[in-house]
Chain A
Amino acid sequence: AQKVTQAQTEISVVEKEDVTLDCVYETRDTTYYLFWYKQPPSGELVFLIRRNSFDEQNEISGRYSWNFQKSTSSFNFTITASQVVDSAVYFCALSEAVNYGQNFVFGPGTRLSVLP
């Protein structure tokens, strides 16, 4: 069965600092998808990125970047020059190739607080 671990329960940084959120996953499938979601205080989960297991190229989107390493089963998320609006709970998720419900699993989340 697949599993997602986010070892950092809570992180606090001061505005403009860089911060990396860790995600480690377990799966027996060779084809799978990884996701990051943001849950701000308002509560709605917002999709940030989707990555398939065959694409290990790192991705950058503005202040956000993602580092996917199959060798360590990790899919880490870095926010550069953090802002107060980045304060939220961030979830890493894993879905195996077959898009059935049980196979879309979320980690426990990391609460990020960005202090002014």
Chain B
Amino acid sequence: DTGVSQDPRHKITKRGQNVTFRCDPISEHNRLYWYRQTLGQGPEFLTYFQNEAQLEKSRLLSDRFSAERPKGSFSTLEIQRTEQGDSAMYLCASSPPGSGSRELFFGEGSRLTVL
């Protein structure tokens, strides 16, 4: 399968613990996005990478959130000192290089439950 891969698919953690999610984009895609989706809502933008550079971060991304894409391939999203409000589906998407706005290809998401 050559789609966007996310791991783990589900994570249950206790409040205050740290969690890390991994995303492997489609191999030739240089753009990578993280979104958060809560029940009944559309995806909300968190952060964006072009190659290894993190070009944008949403105001939704507090200091407890950090994302990396060290070699321009896979990316990690870490949440420190999790809170119950962090419970959501975390979606990774990638898009190919090229002019204009290209469609996003999404992974299956990582569902986080904070107890």
Contacts and interface: CB of A to CB of B under 8 A. Distances in A.
Contacts of B74: none
Contact of B108 (A43, A98, A109): A43
Interface in A59-82: none
B43 interface: yes
Contacts of A91: 42-43
Interface string A94-112: 0111111111111111000
B89 interface: yes
A2 B106 CA distance: 22
B45 A104 contact: yes
Interface residues of B, number: 27
Given A47-B103, A91-B42, A108-B42, A101 B55 contact: yes
B2 interface: no
A100 B48 contact: yes
Contacts of B93: 45
Interface of A: 4, 32-33, 35, 37, 42-47, 50, 52, 91, 93, 95-109
Top 6 A-B residue pairs of the complex, sorted by shortest distance between their CB atoms: A101-B48, A106-B42, A95-B101, A45-B106, A33-B101, A101-B56
Given A32-B101, A106-B44, 9 more contacts: A43-B89, A44-B106, A45-B93, A45-B104, A97-B101, A100-B55, A100-B56, A101-B48, A108-B42
